[in-house]
Amino acid sequence: MKNFLRNLFGIRQQRRSLPVTIAPKICASIVRDGVKIKLAQSFDDEVWEWLVLCGWRVCIVRNDRRHYVQLPMDAITASQSR
C-alpha cells in the first residue's frame, strides 16, 4: 500500500550511490547506472581507481532490490581484447 501511494503521488526518493570500497575480488559484482557485472578476474588498484572515477561501485548490499541489466562475466575481458 505504501508503494502504491508513493507511486501515485510521485514522492519517491532517489537512493544515494554506493560508497567507494577497496578493489573488488573475483566473483564480486560491480554496478553503475543500472548495469551490473560479475567479475571473472581481479583488478589492479590503478584500474579500480579509474573505474571508481567513472562511477563504478562494488555492490555490497546483501538483498539489493534495485533493477539492473546483468552483463555476462566476460564482458570486461571481451572489451579488452579488441
Is 28 within a domain? yes
- Say if 40 falls within a structural domain: yes
* 72 domain-assigned: yes
Residue 34: inside a domain: yes
pLDDT band at 77 (very low <50, low <70, confident <90, very high): low
Q: Which residues pair with 49 in a beta bridge?
A: none
Domain count along the chain: 1
Establish if 3 belongs to a structural domain.
no
pLDDT at position 78 is: 55
pTM, two decimal places: 0.65
Q: Which domain holds residue 30?
A: 16-80
Does any domain span residue 23? yes
Q: Which of 26, 20, 80 is nearest to 56 (CA)?
A: 20
Q: Is residue 4 part of a domain?
A: no
Cα–Cα dist 62/53, whole Å: 24
